Amino acid sequence: MTDKELRRLNRRELLQMLVMQCEEAERLQKEAETAKARLKELEESYERLKMKLNVKDERLNQKDAKIMELNGVIEKLQLERVGEMKENGSFADAALILDGLIKAVQKNADFTALEAPGDGNG
C-alpha cells in the first residue's frame, strides 16, 4: 500500500490492518520456532549418526588391520610351504635316485647269482 492509500484509511481500518499484521507475525514466529525445533532435532540426530559411524569406522579400521595381519601370516605360511615342498621335492628326487641304485644293485646281484651256479656246473 502506498502512503496516500494509508492516509485515506480511518482509525478502525488501520487497527484492523495492525491486528492482521500482528497475527501474521505471530503465525510466522510459531512457524520459525517449529522449524528451529525441527532443525535442532535433525542436528541431534545427525550427531548421533555421526558418532555411530565413527564407531563403525573404527571397527572397520580394526578389522582391516586384522585382515592385513592375517594376509601377512598367510603369505608367510605359503612361503614356508613352498620351501617345504622344494625341500621335500629334493628328498623325493634323492629317494628316486636311491631306489634306482638299489634296483641296479639288486639286478647286478641277481645277475651275479645266476652266473655263479652256471659257471660251477659247466
Q: Give the model's pLDDT for residue 7.
A: 78
Q: Does residue 62 surpass a pLDDT of 80? A: yes
pLDDT-derived band of residue 116, with 50, 70 and 90 as boundaries?
low
Domain that holds residue 61: 3-121
Round to whole Å and give the CA distance between 27 and 91: 94
The count of structural domains within the chain is 1
Could you give the C-alpha distances from 29 to 19, 24, 26, in angstroms and in order?
Answer: 15, 8, 5
